[in-house]
Structure 1
């Protein structure tokens, strides 16, 4: 397998369902000098897939980066289920704070999200990081499409899971895993280098109202844009969590993939509950006990799961990068 050249930019595909915090993560990735965003792929989650594609194209136009391809992903789960829950009450009906931006001029490429991931991982073996910010359907489809994908991809950094804390869809499940639990289980057990950043970590990273005021007072074009779309997101957090700030889920996952020193991890096998009252629950087996009988965790590969985060460094990085343009 080819190894990434020291000092070379990290090639990233962002699998996304924009989404206010997805917009923040995408802009942040475009502002990181050590990152080369080689494509966006789209998935249902905060919005349906069609709208996710429209929003991804729109955000790249705002950023002046229409050179970056967008590949549309699956409209249904890996078991052909339809998306039951769209988080429009969190991000706005349009996914971007109910601003009703004009439609983008660009179009998605002909390849599907899974085909694009497989192609790029083959083209740059060991060098591509997939940062998955929504349900894991596209990544699971890439794994099924090409048995070599798990070995070719450098890393899959995913925002997902609620490890030893309550979920945010219900007490058991976090939204991205709940969106397609069967796909998540395929990804966690595929043998790739996987980093899971769950809400046990992202709930420690908060952009406060004071931070938003600071963004608003800057001349940064990304900061100005984000302040326009943030109100719906702030309003949801006030209602749901009684807090005057917003969780930085997607930017935290992105930055953890780019700079692992921002987090600490534990390792073990992760399985996902795919039915019943705890559908979407992520369980980490730390491999400290060897069970006498065979279990659903036996011989499953280990993955990395984030357990602590340098939240002040992440907020500072986000603010610095988005205010200076």
Structure 2
């Protein structure tokens, strides 16, 4: 079996691609999913997760209900124009409210069960930050954290300076960046290059191992990305790249720096790192040094994505 992973997500199209990759991968084994608000509401995220697990025959994976709103106390803003009204593009998952959620704090039992557990967080960081506030000693036992968030030295995708996960709950993002150790951070400036083209989608679909990929990524590309970025050649799979990093660490090149997040004002959600190569890094109020992805090997990404999704060698 592959690396044990506890997955935190706001399951829309991109998160679903990541979970499908994990399902087909021999290098990743998801042992639990924390369903949080983000792309859609927590209730809809839970419905989407249940639907996906039923589709792939993995209803044995526990699903725990995470946060419903950010630590800022604000009412969450959802993005139906990106992921569709239900979060899965053209797909409308059937109601499944009868299926009970595990208590959120069941996460602690899962963490304590495994000695080398990796946490992958590809949505808002509210639930993860909550664990650092309530169980700091327990969280020290996590092997590493793979996080999709931030945008360093490039424009954001929600504001001119901020990426969506950092912007939606900058308080939580800042807590995680301050207290988590052994973090591999996958910011927007790298994940936006993890492009899956329509040709790749059609080939994967023809092989039949991942039938959900075509309707999801066709929608993602045609209904959102082509309209917002007319010259883009496909759909960036931000969350899938982050999870793929667990299996193949050299898929990205990393730069070591402490990270902080601006919490308020016009620069809310701004990712702050120290990229001054001619200076020693400041202490940054005692924060740990994280591994921030600064470039991606597209050929490695292509090979791993296509091999896993088709079962063939690329």
- TM-score, length-scaled by structure 1: 0.89
Deviation at 1:39, TM superposition (A): 0.5
Match of 2:7 in 1: 14
Match of 2:25 in 1: 32
State the distance in 2 between where 1:189 and 1:108 align: 33
Deviation at 1:33, TM superposition (A): 1.2
Structure 1 residues 311 and 82 mapped into 2: Cα distance closer, same or farther (>3 Å)? Answer: same
Q: Does 1:313 align with 2:300?
A: yes
What aligned pairs does 1:1-325 form with structure 2 within 5 A after superposition? 9-83=2-76, 85-104=77-96, 107-112=99-104, 115-125=105-115, 127-220=116-209, 222=210, 224-235=211-222, 236-242=224-230, 243-286=232-275, 289=279, 297-324=284-311
- Deviation string 1:238-292 (CA, Å, 9 cap, x unpaired) is 011112410010110001122212111111110000011110111112586358x
* Structure 1 spans left out of the alignment, 5+ residues: 1-7
* Structure 2 spans left out of the alignment, 5+ residues: none
Task: Tell me which moved more, 63-72 or 144-153.
Answer: 144-153
Structure 1 residues 290 and 229 mapped into 2: Cα distance closer, same or farther (>3 Å)? Answer: closer
Contact 1:15 1:131 in 2 (8 A): yes
Secondary structure of the residue that 1:53 maps to in structure 2?
helix
State the distance in 2 between where 1:152 and 1:117 align: 13
Deviation at 1:117, TM superposition (A): 3.2
Deviation at 1:40, TM superposition (A): 0.7
State the distance in 2 between where 1:108 and 1:26 align: 21
Secondary structure of the residue that 1:238 maps to in structure 2?
helix
Contact 2:196 2:235 in 1 (8 A): yes
State the distance in 1 between where 2:165 and 2:82 align: 14
Deviation at 1:152, TM superposition (A): 1.2
Deviation at 1:104, TM superposition (A): 4.1
Q: Give structure 1 regions of 4+ aligned residues with deviation exceeding 6 angstroms.
A: none
State the distance in 1 between where 2:195 and 2:280 align: 39
Quote the RMSD (CA, aligned, Å).
Answer: 2.0
- TM-score, length-scaled by structure 2: 0.92
Secondary structure of the residue that 2:17 maps to in structure 1?
helix
Deviation at 1:317, TM superposition (A): 1.8
Contact 2:10 2:35 in 1 (8 A): yes
State the distance in 2 between where 1:181 and 1:108 align: 30
Contact 2:3 2:27 in 1 (8 A): yes
State the distance in 1 between where 2:283 and 2:67 align: 28
Contact 2:90 2:215 in 1 (8 A): no
State the distance in 2 between where 1:36 and 1:209 align: 28
